[in-house]
Structure 1
Amino acid sequence: MDNLTAEDYLNQQTALEEEAKELMPWDPKTCTYSIGPLKQQVYACLTHDNIGICYSCSIRCHTSCEIVELFTKRHFTCDCGTEKDKRIDSKSSNSKCEIRQNKECDIAAVDNIYGHNFQGLFCDCSKEYDPESPSVMIQCIMGLACGEDWYHDHCIMGYTDEELKDVARKSEDDKSENSPDGFPSLESFDSFICWKCVSRYNYYFQKIMSNELANDIISCTIDHDKSSHFINEHGKREKIDSDIQFSIFLKEDYGNGLEKLKDSITDHKDKLYIFLTELVPFLIKDEDLYEPPTEEDDSILDIISKSLSSSMTTSDIVLGTTALNKLQSKLKEFLKPFAEKGEVVKEEDISSFFHSSN
């Protein structure tokens, strides 16, 4: 640090900016509420009644809230600035959503589906996401019964956390995954439909599995047989009189296989045809994922670099650590209001800062 130059400082900022771009790759200036229901990145605000908000509002409007990333959800409308958003009850600002600048609460979507993911909980075990867990988590591609939930590999197989201690895992030579024995390799399938969705629509999946095109669609199935038992007061498992539930793992090109199957049904009043065309058309052709616009303006680092080269001499640029630390501290204070208001920092703003700092 004693020999840190302006060039070193800017290189460090470049690395930090690249890391920030990976975490927040889009320009947070568009709230998706006005666009309507979309397949989009959704975030749950645990601070304000577990509402669902879009990418931009998670950054601009709910900055100080406890946010949980839910990844993608289909047909979801942002709740920010609507009657569901409890944040606006105590807001001093006249705008209900900082991006839309609406003065009155908008009407919340009536067809949003809120599962336990919006409480920060995932899987059939209803636990928070643990990045340190060795278990692989997979999202149900269908989601009509489970709300597009995410599941641990061992929970898909019906094992509890306690039982998992005695379950053999795949060879440690395979560094790419650490799933229990019997769980399909991650490279062997493209998508997954949980046992809850399969059970609810069992009639249709039995039709699909018995069709000659099933080999083009289904990679394998995994029984969730532990779910057909329960623990009695003596700590023993007892069989419940029910069919064994199972999950389905789909092949890479399953959409084309399902489309061929659908096209082979000549009777358009057939239940399976209606199921494929009206209830789960996204299994044949997935919906486009909405992505916010990318940042088109110069980055803050680019602007700073230009200002340095234009307003500071060569001798100034090679100042020591003390001067750079002071400059960095002042710069952070200068940029803080822009960050809090979500405003774009323009080149003339940074130029003015460096001129005033001379």
Structure 2
Amino acid sequence: MSDISATEYLSRQQELEDEARKLMPWDPRSCTYEKGALRQQVFACRTHGNIGICYSCSIQCHTSCDIVELFTKRNFTCDCGTERDKPKSENQQTNEFRCQLRKNREPDVASLQNVYGHNFHGLFCSCNEEYDPDSSAVMLQCVLGAECNEDWYHDYCIVGKGKEKQGAKRKADEETLADGMPPLDSFDAFICWKCVSKYDYYFQKLMSHSLAEEVIAHRIQRGSLEEKDLSRSDKKRPIDDVTDGSIDYSLTLKHGYSKQLAKIKETLDKKTDKLYKFLDDLVPFLVNDDPVYEEPEDTATGADDMVSLLLQSSVQREQAVAGISAFNSLKTRLSEYLRPFAESGRVVSGEDINNFFEGNEKK
């Protein structure tokens, strides 16, 4: 151990705690199952039958499982501890808690509203591949998700370019957009070609509306480098001129699109206009922002609280209590030992730290 001052030592400890906060910002003590269907952070557990679980259960109940982060899903209810939650092995005892947070010994009824796609198997995009954290590809989530279940897409798949062709133009450590993609700062949301195709009639009506240029930023064609910017289109352009229907295309929406969609909705006849029905019944979350549920922020104030939390989730209660007690006692004694060094600005040497721990081993 190299020689450092007590002040530097304590500063480094604070940096480690701050980094841990970024990785685990919320208090993982409450399962969202009883809150019902929410737009929330969802994690897929491939160990327990490709179920979807909430943030807290991913930490407390599935610590040793094969977990895939899916980010947000709408109208999703946590599967942990339900009939969908398959045990890791046939030898799992029936008297164990199904969910460590709800403490239920019998499986709860699973939600019938949950929608599952290949994301829950850890696969993404039309190319059906696992997420590669080392890839330089940009991935966008479909904000509509009616057809794709809010899937994530590689930029080169959005424009219909192969991974091999696009990958050759990128450096491993460089995030470069595929040819045909608009700048990321030029739009706020993305709607994939699958969802656009499913509701093509409504999107053509939307794009022919006089306020369309206030909502739609870009139309990105697949299999073609041509990218038509609807913000430069004529306000009265006929629907037939917007697209010939021969090529699939995705849409990007401008910043503030929800307010503009609300304005468009106000211009429509609620009784007869099909676009009104589309905005009101099928995609109301595009008009009225659908906030993401977040757990309460972590109230732990130090590393000892976080260690306590992790201990409680992985060992028996008696062992956890003993471990936490020993940890807190050691932390108190170390603080007292370092106080004179901090007050005088003295350097803490490796020998000093070794002497501290050797002295505690004899106690």
Q: TM-score range by the shorter chain?
A: 0.7 to 0.9
1:321 pairs with one of 350, 354, 357: 350
| Partner secondary structure for residue 250 of structure 2 | strand
Change (3 A) 1:218 1:297: same
| SS, match of residue 40 in structure 2 | strand
Distance in 1 between the 2:354 and 2:51 partners?
Answer: 41
Matches within 5 A, 1:29-178: 29-87=29-87, 90-92=91-93, 94-164=96-166, 177-178=175-176
Return the letter of the residue paired with 1:91. Q
Give the direction of change, closer, same or farther, for the CA distance of 1:158–1:7 in structure 2 (3 Å limit): same
Query: C-alpha displacement at 1:294, in angstroms?
Result: 1.2
Residue 78 and residue 324 in structure 1: after superposition, are their counterparts in 2 closer, same or farther (change >3 A)?
farther
Residue type matched to 1:307 in 2?
T
1:288 equivalent in structure 2: 291
Choose the corresponding residue for 1:206, options 197, 201, 204.
204
Quote the Cα distance in structure 1 between the aligned partners of 2:189 and 2:76. 21
Structure 1 partner of 2:233? none
> What is the deviation of 1:299?
2.1
Q: 1:159/1:29 Cα in 2 relative to 1: closer, same or farther (>3 Å)?
A: same
Query: Relative to structure 1, is the Cα distance of residues 326 and 268 closer, same or farther in structure 2, using a 3 angstrom cutoff?
Result: farther
Match for residue 276 of structure 2 among 273, 284, 302: 273
- Structure 2 CA distance for partners of 1:123 and 1:254, relative to 1, 3 Å: same
Partners of 2:357 and 2:288 in 1: CA distance: 50
Matched position secondary structure for 1:225 = coil
Q: Cα offset for 1:116?
A: 0.7
**Secondary structure, in 3 states, of the residue corresponding to 1:262?**
helix
Q: How far did 1:244 drift?
A: 1.3
Aligned-partner SS, 1:42: strand
Contact 1:14/1:301 (CA < 8 Å) preserved in 2?
no
Q: TM-score, normalised by structure 1?
A: 0.79
The CA deviation string for residues 287-311 of structure 1, in whole angstroms up to 9 with x for no partner, is 1111111122432358789834875
The alpha-carbon deviation at position 87 of structure 1 amounts to 2.6
State the SS of the aligned residue for 2:113.
Answer: coil
For normalisation by structure 2, the TM-score amounts to: 0.78
Compared CA separation, residues 255 and 176, structure 1 to 2 (3 A): farther
Distance 2:335 2:17 in 1: 22
Write the distance in 2 (CA, Å) between the matches of 1:325 and 1:47.
42
CA contact (8 A) 1:218 1:249 kept: yes
Identity of aligned residues (%): 50
Deviation at 1:189, TM superposition (A): 0.6
Which residue type is aligned with residue 117 of structure 1? N
Distance 1:323 1:44, change over 3 A: farther
Pairs aligned (count): 314
Aligned partner of 1:341 in structure 2 is none
The answer to whether the Cα contact below 8 Å between 2:216 and 2:252 also exists between their aligned partners in 1 is yes
Unpaired stretches in structure 1, ≥5 consecutive residues: 227-241, 330-353
Q: Sort the Cα spacing of 1:79 and 1:3 in 2 relative to 1 into closer, same or farther, 3 A.
A: same
Deviations 1:202-260 (A, max 9, x none): 0000000001010110001011137xxxxxxxxxxxxxxx7311000111011111111
Equivalent residue for 1:259?
Answer: 262
Asked whether 1:307 is paired with 2:332, we answer: yes
String of CA shifts for 1:145-198, please: whole Å, max 9, x gaps. 0010000111000111233257x67xx9xx984112221000111101000000
Q: Any unmatched runs of 5+ in structure 2?
A: 225-244, 306-327
SS in 2 for 1:87: coil
Distance 1:357 1:208 in 2: 77
Counterpart position of 2:216? 218
Rounded to whole Å, the distance in 2 between the matches of 1:286 and 1:148 is 16
Contact (CA 8 Å) 1:49, 1:86: kept in 2 or not?
A: yes
Cross-structure match for 1:191:
189
Q: Displacement of 1:134 after TM fit?
A: 1.7
- Greater Cα offset, 8-17 or 263-272: 8-17
- Which residue number corresponds to residue 236 of structure 1? none
Q: Is it true that 1:18 corresponds to 2:18 in the alignment?
A: yes
Partners of 1:294 and 1:131 in 2: CA distance: 27
* 2-structure distance, mates of 1:183, 1:313: 56
TM-align CA RMSD: 3.1
Per-residue deviation, 1:268: 2.4
